[in-house]
């Protein structure tokens, strides 16, 4: 096992009716900025629940945060928060709203070019405190210090992270997810699944508990993903997917083991440049990346095939391939195509994607830093 530091201070309030706890969780006597997205929380009643829970609080609003939130739009919220001397941010929505709000939390007190917090990975020295009401289980942002922000002007989608950006609390009420579209649910399941695989399908580190925790999340998503699609109001299915998504990226399964974030890095380029949903890019990149990396990842791929997919027949090479095929089939069954052709992204764009990663000094990628420009092109070629 590798040495590690694990610290996750977010308080999780999980279950039906927990939005009512907001009164006790937000700080008293300070001005709060409620942030949200395109208005789905107004349609599904979550907005009203939040307003009711916080009746009498000094509450301002900043809505309209888009999927893949942009630096340009978020800066409007930063200016509002500065002008109005906001002291607490309350994000109500999915990963994009929470991520955008994390950027605002870091940017409001930052003196300098705020994009540097993202593009140059400048560590913030302070941040506004924030809390979240999560309505779309997927990214794990409700219980980590990570965020991803896009700069529209340059079509850059970049992840950043700070221990100051853990939400103070996050409210996870599975009922708030009943009104999600199938596409949103499928994206969330794929996102959590890929987060788990990127901390698991690397090389053995003699860390059997972390391996089994990862396999637990994967098996549960395989069971509960279809169940939650089949009946949107199945509370327990929604609850189980929600809790899986949190555990997939709260630091737990990645403690003491190697990580491979290459799928996310390549996927971000596809979203920034071609507008695909985040999880759509992951479903496309991951199976092909696993195939290209099947030799360095051999031991863990064989373990994955056996323990997650119960593939026990045939040679190692056969079992390993069957595991990758099962992964692809799972994404497809959830409704996520695994080929770029489904989104009309042609191969003429592939060199540009590799170049952008190179320009960002992101290459080589992977747990062994062996995913070079050539391998990125090979992965994309397989993903046509």
Site residues, its own copies (CB under 8 A):
1-18, 206-210, 212-213, 215-217, 219-220, 223-224, 236, 239-240, 243-244, 247, 252, 255-256
Q: Closest separation between CB of residue 237 and its own copies, Å?
A: 9
For residue 90, the cross-strand partners are 34, 131
Task: List phi, psi (to 5°) of 132.
Answer: -140, 145
- Residue 174 CA, chain-centre distance (Å), reads 18
Instruction: Retrieve residue 348's tokens.
Output: 């003429």
**Distance between CA atoms of 196 and 247, rounded to whole angstroms?**
9
How do 32-35 and 59-62 pair as beta strands?
Answer: parallel
* Measured torsion, CA atoms of residues 306, 182, 73, 192, in degrees rounded to the nearest 10: -10
For residue 62, the cross-strand partners are 35
Q: Closest separation between CB of residue 307 and its own copies, Å?
A: 11
**Distance between CA atoms of 81 and 102, rounded to whole angstroms?**
13
Q: Closest separation between CB of residue 222 and its own copies, Å?
A: 11
Q: Which is nearer to its own copies, 10 or 70 (CB)?
A: 10
Judge if the upstream peptide bond of residue 121 is cis by omega within 30 degrees of 0.
no
Query: Who contacts 52 (Cβ-Cβ below 8 Å, separation ≥6)?
Result: none
- Nearest to residue 238, comparing CAs of 279, 171, 189, 167? 189
**Distance between CA atoms of 50 and 35, rounded to whole angstroms?**
11
Q: Closest separation between CB of residue 356 and its own copies, Å?
A: 36
Q: Closest separation between CB of residue 253 and its own copies, Å?
A: 10
Reduce the DSSP state of residue 170 to 3 states and report it: strand
Contact (CB, 8 A) for 273 and 348: no
Q: Closest separation between CB of residue 25 and its own copies, Å?
A: 10
Q: Closest separation between CB of residue 188 and its own copies, Å?
A: 15
């Amino acid at each position: 096992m590798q040495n590690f530091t694990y610290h996750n201070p977010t308080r999780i309030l999980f279950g039906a009716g927990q939005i009512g706890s907001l009164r006790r969780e937000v700080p008293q006597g300070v001005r709060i900025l409620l942030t949200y997205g395109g208005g789905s929380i107004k349609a599904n009643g979550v907005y009203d629940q939040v307003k009711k829970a916080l009746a009498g609080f000094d509450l301002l609003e900043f809505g309209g945060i888009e999927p893949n939130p942009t630096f340009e739009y978020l800066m409007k919220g930063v200016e509002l928060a500065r002008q109005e001397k906001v002291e607490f941010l309350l994000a109500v929505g999915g990963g994009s709203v929470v991520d955008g709000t994390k950027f605002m939390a870091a940017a409001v007190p930052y003196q300098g070019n705020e994009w540097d917090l993202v593009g140059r990975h400048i560590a913030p020295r302070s941040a506004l405190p924030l809390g979240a009401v999560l309505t779309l289980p997927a990214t794990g942002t409700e219980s980590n210090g990570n965020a991803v922000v896009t700069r529209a002007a340059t079509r850059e989608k970049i992840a950043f992270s700070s221990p100051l950006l853990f939400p103070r609390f996050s409210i996870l009420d599975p009922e708030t997810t009943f009104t999600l579209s199938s596409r949103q649910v499928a994206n969330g399941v794929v996102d959590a699944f890929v987060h788990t695989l990127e901390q698991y399908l690397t090389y053995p580190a003699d860390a059997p508990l972390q391996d089994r925790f990862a396999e637990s999340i994967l098996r549960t998503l395989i069971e509960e993903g279809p169940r939650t699609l089949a009946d949107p109001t199945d509370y327990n299915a929604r609850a189980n997917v929600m809790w899986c998504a949190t555990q997939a990226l709260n630091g737990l399964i990645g403690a003491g083991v190697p990580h491979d974030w290459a799928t996310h890095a390549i996927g971000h380029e596809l979203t920034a440049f071609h507008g695909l949903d985040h999880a759509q890019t992951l479903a496309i990149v991951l199976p092909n990346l696993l195939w290209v990396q099947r030799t360095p990842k051999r031991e863990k791929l064989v373990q994955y095939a056996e323990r997650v997919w119960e593939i026990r027949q045939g040679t190692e090479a056969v079992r390993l391939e069957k595991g990758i095929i099962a992964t692809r089939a799972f994404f497809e069954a959830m409704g996520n195509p695994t080929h770029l052709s489904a989104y009309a992204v042609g191969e003429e764009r592939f060199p540009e994607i590799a170049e952008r990663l190179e320009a960002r000094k992101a290459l080589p990628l992977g747990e062994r830093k062996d995913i070079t420009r050539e391998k990125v092109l090979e992965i994309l070629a397989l993903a046509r």
